[in-house]
Structure 1
């Protein structure tokens, strides 16, 4: 079918304001990053000794806390940096990070200085905040983190969560760097996600499926309501065509005349490539003229890390819920050894349904290795628990190997794949991918900052 087009009704207007506390220019901040914004760190400094990082890490214990009031107040204290640039705001259950990085590449290629905010990170927190595809430097991150901390400690003191803190740092980074536009991925939901505060001139919805139901609600309709609430009256919202009638009804009610449906992307298709026509349409809608939209989404996009295991074609997947696991497993067409590890979640067994079904009935997966991610907000599902869940399914299938250490597990799975002349799939958690990425950077003596560059 022909590629649908989107027609812009003209540029949106953005508020003009007098900040309560004007942000400093780049040269007014301490540090050498005004000469090179991507210098990894100041000479002689160690990131693990920075008190601001300790303060940030303390935020992890706060967990998830949805709501806009805290970030709205802290942003106000810092002069509302989030209102200095237009943003594309993207929500959805799966695929929103891939869509965001493709939009960022198209915007940058069109000559716009483009900020990109995504989460979670694979290896280092700076990668959540990119400018023209490159993570901001630890030097810049630390100085802006200090500003966020100072603003939050003004009376009355406010305690932002880890995610909220990184979002606030991103808004400062984009403002100080003079971005022309930002691409913003929601953290969770949309209606009460801190990113809802950005000044969006376009909103986008990817897939809607069950995930984080303990926070967003136990039904698809409730989850759709939370995510579709990124819509702003009078601002166009592009939504991937959904299949559930209840979800469709919710999105149409919220989006109203501003809603534009985009043809459904089959769950079994290559989502990475299938977003290209949508990005082309958005580029036309916003008047972009991208010269080159080639980009890499570290740890997620096809071909990234394919040579990590010697003599074995390796694929990395951050799929961690039922929809994304089913989609990525369905893409496998050749015999593949699976390395699987997950972080704990409320709907763990429901998320595992498609995985258990596929590996037990499809001979394309000759061997499976269970492991445990090291990093992440939540603890890993133990290999014992994964094995018990598999046994509970009553399918008479057991993993080929269990190994708690993901680095050892990767070597074991790679050896199995070589013996079978099979491919290797790493799947189940973005944190598992991050653990292996850090290992590969150290093993092969790679430049981490170059590896983490998206475009």
Structure 2
């Protein structure tokens, strides 16, 4: 049987991941705490640690993702998580949006809210915020130094990049005595280090295929990993899921004695799309809970899929009332409307119109293209696309083929896991029979895209948060240069 171009590309990608995986992540010389004097040296220390977000191949098991290691680290730091009241959001897509809406509503009700999210778009400190403000450079450096001073007690089993970031966030929130912490789960749930925190309520967003080389190709397997966030007697709320995912979540909830509810099933939930002069095209939701009745609330983020995330956030607000949080409906509604979230259908350049979105799996790409059609008038969609090797690449490319009028493949320069643009183009052409272009760098791809659009067309950069973040920084820097003139 002849070897296709696509299979050659996949073989070369597999070979590159194998060489990367052969390195022992603990065979590194970590900068000693005594040499951490500022934010720059603190970052150097941080990046001495293994970063699974950037590795091409990971063994997803209890030997790699050790919750016990995280517990030991937190214990050495004085167990800051035990001083905090937390909520956790897991799922495949919509975690960041749900967390942002939840944090905005809580903040508007007068609470000091710590938000821990990932990944960041431009600045690492975006991951750790209080009431929307990033942790300062000095505070971040001090906390990293504090962690560096205790990690020797762990021996050779050093914490990972994400574990350090999570510990830093929890230390910072405890230092600042925040009223509540909103935790966005990183990878999966069962083995994610955020899961060591006791929570008041758990949220589960839509579950679809992502990180398939780690979590599996079956939705049921992925659902089991996400359900690993369930805790005994702690309420959990989920958005509507596929039948197979619903069954798994219910089974896991029963096994963990977790009271689980679904919006649209146990919690009255509905949404509709409309347009008016004030808001233009938008989605509205209705949510009726045990203590509240929210009717026809505008969803602050664009896209029909955001209505599910909005309903989930409102349902979680209801659960927090049972813990004594004072959350008046009018304040909740005001806070919802104030939600801001960079990197989700964000217009970063007016002419030609350039939109960035962190859509990084097939379901997210499909939702993005649908949302663009509903909310933005355009003639042609030019998609600048790049993604990581751990994604459902074929699924994403199928959605790209269905929704984009012109495709330019590229890769994010700061993502070692990024697929080569030529490989993506080859796979795309073989799969769809459509022509495409590729460019080695984002700037080159944007230059190609700008030549291909008219005033009524749009350029969309999507496929990974790395790529979206790189595009956002590019246009912010461009705007800064223009303002200086």
Higher mean Cα deviation, 88-97 or 147-156?
Answer: 147-156
Give matches, 1:140-289, under 5 Å.
140-154=139-153, 156-243=155-242, 245-256=243-254, 258-263=259-264, 269-287=303-321, 288-289=327-328
What are the Cα deviations for residues 1-36 of structure 1, in whole angstroms up to 9, with x where unaligned?
xxxxxxxxxxxxxxxxxxxxxxxxxxxxxxxxxxxx
User: What is the SS of the residue equivalent to 1:154?
Assistant: helix
Contact 1:86-1:180 within 8 A present in 2 as well: yes
User: What is the SS of the residue equivalent to 2:480?
Assistant: coil
Contact 1:265-1:271 within 8 A present in 2 as well: no
The equivalent position to 1:54 in structure 2, one of 28, 39, 44, is 44
The equivalent position to 1:383 in structure 2, one of 414, 417, 421, is 421
Q: Distance in 1 between matches of 2:166 and 2:74?
A: 10
Residue 369 (structure 1) aligned with residue 408 (structure 2): yes
TM-score, scaled relative to structure 1 = 0.79
The equivalent position to 2:399 in structure 1, one of 351, 354, 377, is 354
How far is the alpha carbon of 1:166 from its aligned partner? 0.5
Root-mean-square deviation (Å): 2.5
Q: Return the structure number with greater strand share.
A: 2
The equivalent position to 1:325 in structure 2, one of 365, 368, 383, is 365
Q: Distance in 2 between matches of 1:337 and 1:237?
A: 40
Q: Distance in 2 between matches of 1:140 and 1:82?
A: 18
Per the alignment, residue 398 of structure 1 pairs with 435
How far is the alpha carbon of 1:403 from its aligned partner? 1.8
Q: Distance in 1 between matches of 2:180 and 2:192?
A: 20
Per the alignment, residue 297 of structure 1 pairs with 341
What is the aligned length? 386
After superposition, the Cα gap between the structure-2 partners of 1:89 and 1:148, relative to the gap in structure 1 and judged at 3 Å, is same
Residue 443 (structure 1) aligned with residue 481 (structure 2): no
Gaps of 5+ in 2: 1-36, 59-63, 274-302, 322-326
Contact 2:200-2:320 within 8 A present in 1 as well: no
Which of 1 and 2 has higher RCO (CA within 8 Å, sep 6+)? 1
Gaps of 5+ in 1: 1-44, 360-364, 447-455
What are the Cα deviations for residues 391-440 of structure 1, in whole angstroms up to 9, with x where unaligned?
221x33111x32222023224323422x2621221111111111111222
User: What is the SS of the residue equivalent to 2:49?
Assistant: helix
The equivalent position to 1:340 in structure 2, one of 371, 381, 385, is 385
User: What is the SS of the residue equivalent to 2:422?
Assistant: helix
After superposition, the Cα gap between the structure-2 partners of 1:299 and 1:85, relative to the gap in structure 1 and judged at 3 Å, is same
Per the alignment, residue 104 of structure 1 pairs with 103
Contact 1:321-1:352 within 8 A present in 2 as well: no
Q: Distance in 2 between matches of 1:98 and 1:426?
A: 18
Contact 1:343-1:373 within 8 A present in 2 as well: no
User: What is the SS of the residue equivalent to 1:387?
Assistant: helix
After superposition, the Cα gap between the structure-2 partners of 1:222 and 1:265, relative to the gap in structure 1 and judged at 3 Å, is farther
Q: Distance in 2 between matches of 1:323 and 1:309?
A: 26
Contact 1:343-1:381 within 8 A present in 2 as well: yes
Q: Distance in 2 between matches of 1:123 and 1:106?
A: 25
After superposition, the Cα gap between the structure-2 partners of 1:155 and 1:316, relative to the gap in structure 1 and judged at 3 Å, is closer
After superposition, the Cα gap between the structure-2 partners of 1:214 and 1:53, relative to the gap in structure 1 and judged at 3 Å, is same
Contact 2:237-2:316 within 8 A present in 1 as well: no
Per the alignment, residue 289 of structure 2 pairs with none
User: What is the SS of the residue equivalent to 1:398?
Assistant: coil
TM-score, scaled relative to structure 2 = 0.74
